[in-house]
Amino acid sequence: MKTRDYFKPLTVFTALCYLFLYLPICVLVAFSFNTSRFSVVWQEFTVQWYVKLIQDPLVLDALKNSIIVAIVAMILSTIIGTLTAYGLFRYRFRGKAIFDGILFLPIVTPEIVVGISLVIFFVLIHINLGLKTIIIAHVAFDIPFVMLIVRARLQGMDRSLEEAAMDLGADEWTTFFKVTVPQLLPGIIAAALLAFTLSFDDFVITFFVAGVGSTTLPLKIYSMVRLGVSPKINALSALIVLVSITMITIADRLQRKSL
């Protein structure tokens, strides 16, 4: 076909874009296995940086904090976000458009603005900064994302099953838990995994609302980066990227699953 003449250069260009997207991450992973500490020359394959990593108590402590924060934030935001998606889908009420708009706000607000406004808030109401404040902040920015993902699933859902359940005498409570939730489950799990990833990876907001002794992995990486590039950071980064990729892949599979 004549119109496809421009396709070849377009394909090459797109391939280069993908190279651009993935090359830096590949470089990072490759260097995490390189013996040399300073030079860019490839010396020898090693896992010593990973070994050093798991022997570092500070890194392990940060890992523990990160996991606690991500799991608690995931559970809370998944529950709240799912309820919100359901409520917005099911009911009409005055001011719904405004409510919708407000839920859009945390997504577009720069993270640094969220971070500093929260630190002012916590200081003013005398809440000590720590894991608790990190979790509160993470739940707040996770909720809109969970809501959007679950809502997308709701919009593709077959309402007739719910109606059938109600016609057969199930009350709304039973219908919600026995019919609606199972239908939404792949979407809910996908949303939960992405909420976990967002929370696990968050740096900027956590940077402001974390207190002494509540360092998470991204904060640890940042403080290490300030002291300069090191193979240990490469190894830690590679591991975090691996966690994200695993979570996102599963979430993507679930979201593609047809209803």
Partner 1 sequence: MQSGTLRIRILKFFNRHKNTRAFSILFPCIFWIGVFFLLPLVFMGIYSFLERGLYGGVNWIFTWKNYTRFVDPLYLKILLRTFRISFITTVILLMIGYPMAYRIARADKRWRNILLFLVILPFWTSDLIRTYAWMLILRDTGLLNGLLQYLHIIREPLSLLYTEGAILLGLAYVYLPFMVLPLYASIERLDPSVLEAAEDLGATPFWRFLKVTMPLTKSGIMAGSLLVFIPSVGVFVVSDLLGGAKVMMIGNLVQLQFGPARNWPFGSAASFILMAIVLFAVFAYLRFAGGKEALEEAR
Question: Which residue number, 139 or 214, has a Cβ lying nearer to partner 1?
Answer: 139
Closest distance between partner 1 and the C-beta of residue 127, in Å? Answer: 11
DSSP-based three-state secondary structure for 8:
helix
Residue 131 binds to partner 1 (criterion: CB under 8 A): no
Closest distance between partner 1 and the C-beta of residue 145, in Å? Answer: 10
Question: Which residue number, 59 or 118, has a Cβ lying nearer to partner 1?
Answer: 118
Question: x/- string (CB under 8 A) for partner 1, residues 195-234?
Answer: --xx--x-xx---x---------x--xx--x---x---xx
Rounded CA separation 120/130 (Å): 14
Residue 156 binds to partner 1 (criterion: CB under 8 A): no
| Interface with partner 1 in residues 235-254 (CB under 8 A) | 237, 240-241, 244-245, 247-249, 252
Provide DSSP, 45-63: B--HHHHHHHT-HHHHHHH
Kindly state the number of chain residues that form the binding site for partner 1, as judged by CB under 8 A.
90
Whether 138 contacts 210, CB under 8 Å: no
Residue 35 binds to partner 1 (criterion: CB under 8 A): no
Please report where in the chains the tokens 């919708």 appear, as a residue.
100
Rounded CA separation 201/188 (Å): 20
Residue 41 binds to partner 1 (criterion: CB under 8 A): yes
Cβ neighbour number for residue 135 with a 10 Å cutoff: 21
Closest distance between partner 1 and the C-beta of residue 160, in Å? Answer: 22
The stretch among 45-53, 54-62, 64-72, 81-89 that binds partner 1 (CB under 8 A) is: 81-89
| Interface with partner 1 in residues 163-202 (CB under 8 A) | 171-173, 194, 197-198, 201
Degrees to nearest 5, angle at CA 110 with 19 and 247: 50
Rounded CA separation 199/74 (Å): 8
Identity of residue 80: I
Please report where in the chains the tokens 């004549």 appear, as a residue.
2
What count of Cα atoms within 13 Å lies in the side-chain half-sphere of residue 145?
22
Q: Which of 67, 68, 71, 83 binds partner 1 (CB under 8 A)?
A: 83
